[in-house]
């Protein structure tokens, strides 16, 4: 059984054989026709043209069948002409005349074959060029179809975005208009294509168009805000981005423009700016009012301080007189008074002495507000130990456990800060009087770097935290005079001094669980 390759090879061989037979057969047939035509011409008395007929047979064979069949036609023509038409007829003789005719046949056949060869080469070259051109056309057509498909896909993708995108030529005529542009401006793609974009949208530029184009040609990009009009006449503010497209030679040929509607955002910004301006005006007005109120308050405070200072200063003499004459009366008339009168006189003296203490404290409190602070570096630990030593007489005959930790360096007035520490330590001693043993701890906290914090902690009677805001008020007391003596000015003095040092003071406590008072003051870089 023959293989497909063998069958194909045999078929090709058969086609080639048939083609060769046809070409050589054409050569024989053309010579035969020439012989018949020669006889006809001899009969008509045109024997001079017989040679030309054979020449035509050779030329026709060369033209239609190629070089080798033309050679066969040349040989057959030379023999046939010699045999049939040169004397003596029907014999092949090679006389001088026969050689002349044969030479003529040979030259003509050579020319015909050469001409045919050149023609065939030219036809082959033309055919090859045509095939190459057709191949290039096919490839270019495929590339164009692929490019069209890519462009179509990109156009479909651009239609999916909500931004407006359109392309315009350098003369501003729109060549592409996406769905986003249709939805924003109201013109369909069919209506927008071929129209100048600036005229269609009534564009208002944020700067001169010449400057925009200059930036565009320099950097191939431009971004800014434009005002456009929609089909129904609405004005829109858009954030616009232009991209310049160039060809292979670097020449600009199109501009891609992308626009985003920012109208609502601009309105919101304008409203916010107006609100901010109004708020600034109100803040300035309110600040002026507060400044005026503060000035008035400072004036009133100064008047109150002056009044308190004046009152406390003027009260000192009458109170001292009351106490002094009361003591004299008690000394000289004690025996003349009955028990009830002596008790009444004792109450008068106690009240006068308490009044004197209150006046002295109030005078000291007023002086704090009037005094000028002398700031320097203060060693809080040294200050605390000095105050504790000064209060040693009050601690005699008491079981007190002192715990003084490492204390910081701060900035402040030493005499005023001593008064702060003295008031806090005195309170700790006073409110731990009922404790056995009494424990008083003075230490510091690691706090923010710009300030130092120290505290005074005790295990005394404590206080209810819901009244913590009353602790530092003038004349505010959380305990009765009978239980714990005092004027209610000590903690107010502490707060006033600390605030005068740009510091903070606060307290924590619980009933029967002690209290802790914190003082925060500006820090200093050095240590003593």
| 339 and 233 inside one domain | no
**Counting every residue, how long is the chain?**
528
User: Do residue 216 and residue 350 come from a single domain?
Assistant: no
pLDDT at 8: 43
Specify whether 194 is located in the same domain as 295.
Answer: no
pLDDT tens digits for 224-266?
Answer: 999 999 999 999 999 999 999 988 888 898 999 989 899 999 8
- Asked if residue 394 and residue 507 are part of one domain, the reply reads yes
Q: 188 and 322: one domain?
A: no
Q: Is residue 156 part of a domain?
A: no
**Local structure of residue 527 (DSSP, 8 states):** -
For residue 161, the model assigns a pLDDT of 67
In this prediction, residue 483 carries a pLDDT of 44
Percent helix, strand, coil in the chain (nearest 5)? Answer: 60, 15, 20
What number is the average pLDDT over the span 485-489? 58
**Is residue 330 included in any domain, yes or no?**
yes
Q: What is the pLDDT of residue 7?
A: 44
In terms of DSSP H, where are the helices of 161-252? 179-185, 189-192, 197-201, 209-219
Would you say residue 400 lies in a domain?
A: yes
Say which CATH number the domain at 196 has. Answer: 3.30.450.20
Is 150 inside a domain boundary? no
The per-residue pLDDT for 219 is: 92
* pLDDT above 90: residue 173: yes
Domain count for the chain, please give it.
Answer: 4
116 with 244, same domain: the answer is no
Residue 46 shares a structural domain with residue 181:
no
Last residue of a domain, one of 321, 345, 371: 371
Q: Where residue 504 sits, what CATH number does that domain have?
A: 3.30.565.10
Tens digits of per-residue pLDDT, 416-432? 888 888 888 888 888 88
Does some domain include residue 149? Answer: no
Conformational region of residue 512, where left means phi above 0, alpha means psi within -120 to 50, and beta covers everything else: left
Stated pTM of the model: 0.40
Contact (Cβ atoms closer than 8 angstroms) between residue 183 and residue 159 = no
380 and 510 part of one domain = yes
Report the pLDDT averaged over residues 504-526.
Answer: 82
The reported pLDDT for the residue numbered 237 is: 93
Q: How crowded is the C-beta side of 307, counted as CA atoms within 13 Å? A: 6
The three-state secondary structure class of 517 is: strand
The CB-side HSE value for 114 (13 A sphere, CA atoms) comes to 6
Position 488 scores a pLDDT of 61
Q: Which domain holds residue 359?
A: 272-371
Q: In this structure, are 27 and 125 located in the same domain?
A: yes
Is pLDDT above 50 for 480?
Answer: no
Model confidence pLDDT, tens digit, residues 323-380: 677 777 777 777 777 777 777 777 777 666 666 665 665 556 555 655 566 778 888 8
Q: Do 418 and 506 belong together in one domain?
A: yes
Q: Is residue 174 part of a domain?
A: yes
Q: Of 318, 353, 371, which closes a domain?
A: 371
Model confidence at 160: pLDDT above 70: no
In the predicted structure, residue 164 carries a pLDDT above the cut 60: yes
Residues 376 and 518 reside in one and the same domain: yes
Question: 54 and 124: one domain?
Answer: yes
Q: What is the mean pLDDT of the chain?
A: 77
Which of the given ranges, 114-128, 251-265, 281-295, 510-524, has the highest pLDDT on average?
251-265
CATH code (residue 344) = 1.10.287.130
**For position 234, what pLDDT does the model report?**
92
Query: Are residues 61 and 28 in contact, defined by beta-carbon separation less than 8 angstroms?
Result: no
* 48 in any annotated domain: yes
CA distance 202 to 186: 14
DSSP code string of 133-170:
HHHHHHHHHHHHHHHHHHHHHHHHHHHHSSSEEEEEET
266 found inside a domain: no
């Amino acid at each position: 059984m023959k293989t497909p390759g063998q069958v194909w090879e045999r078929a090709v061989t058969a086609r080639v054989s048939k083609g060769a037979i046809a070409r050589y057969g054409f050569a024989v047939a053309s010579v035969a026709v020439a012989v018949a035509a020669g006889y006809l011409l001899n009969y008509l008395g045109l024997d001079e043209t017989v040679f030309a007929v054979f020449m035509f047979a050779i030329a026709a064979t060369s033209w239609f069948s190629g070089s080798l069949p033309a050679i066969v036609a040349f040989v057959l023509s030379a023999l046939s002409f010699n045999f049939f038409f040169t004397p003596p007829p029907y014999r092949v003789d090679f006389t001088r005349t026969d050689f002349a005719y044969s030479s003529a046949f040979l030259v003509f056949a050579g020319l015909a074959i050469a001409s045919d060869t050149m023609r065939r080469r030219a036809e082959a070259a033309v055919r090859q060029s045509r095939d190459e051109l057709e191949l290039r056309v096919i490839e270019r057509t495929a590339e164009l179809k692929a490019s069209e498909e890519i462009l179509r896909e990109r156009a479909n993708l651009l239609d999916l975005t909500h931004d407006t995108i359109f392309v315009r030529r350098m003369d501003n005529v729109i060549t592409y208009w996406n769905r986003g542009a249709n939805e924003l401006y109201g013109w369909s793609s069919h209506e927008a294509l071929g129209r100048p974009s600036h005229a269609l949208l009534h564009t208002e530029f944020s700067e001169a168009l010449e400057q925009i184009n200059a930036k565009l040609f320099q950097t191939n990009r431009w971004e800014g805000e434009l005002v456009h009009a929609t089909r129904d006449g609405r004005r829109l503010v858009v954030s616009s981005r232009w991209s310049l497209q160039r060809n292979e030679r670097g020449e600009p040929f199109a501009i891609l423009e992308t626009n985003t509607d920012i109208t609502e955002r601009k309105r919101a910004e304008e409203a916010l700016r107006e609100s901010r301006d109004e708020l600034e005006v109100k803040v300035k007005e309110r600040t002026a009012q507060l400044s005026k109120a503060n000035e008035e308050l400072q004036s009133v405070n100064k008047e109150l301080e002056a009044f308190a200072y004046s009152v406390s200063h003027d009260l000192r003499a009458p109170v001292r007189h009351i106490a002094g004459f009361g003591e004299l009366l008690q000394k000289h008339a004690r025996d003349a008074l009955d028990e009830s009168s002596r008790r009444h006189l004792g109450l008068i003296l106690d009240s006068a002495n308490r009044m004197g203490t209150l006046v002295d404290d109030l005078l000291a409190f007023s002086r704090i507000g009037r005094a000028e602070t002398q700031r320097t570096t203060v060693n809080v630990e040294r200050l605390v130990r000095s105050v504790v030593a000064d209060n040693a007489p009050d601690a005699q005959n008491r079981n007190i456990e002192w715990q003084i930790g490492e204390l910081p360096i701060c900035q402040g007035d030493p005499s005023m800060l001593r008064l702060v520490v003295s008031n806090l330590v005195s309170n700790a001693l006073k409110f731990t009087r009922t404790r056995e043993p009494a424990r008083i701890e003075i230490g510091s906290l690691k706090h923010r770097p710009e300030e130092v914090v120290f505290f005074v902690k005790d295990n005394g009677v404590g206080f209810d935290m819901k009244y913590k805001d009353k602790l530092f008020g003038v004349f505010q007391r959380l305990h009765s005079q009978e239980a714990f003596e005092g004027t209610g000015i000590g903690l107010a003095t502490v707060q006033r001094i600390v605030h005068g040092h740009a510091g903070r003071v606060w307290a924590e406590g619980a009933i029967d669980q002690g209290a802790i008072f914190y003082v925060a003051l500006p820090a200093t870089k050095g240590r003593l």
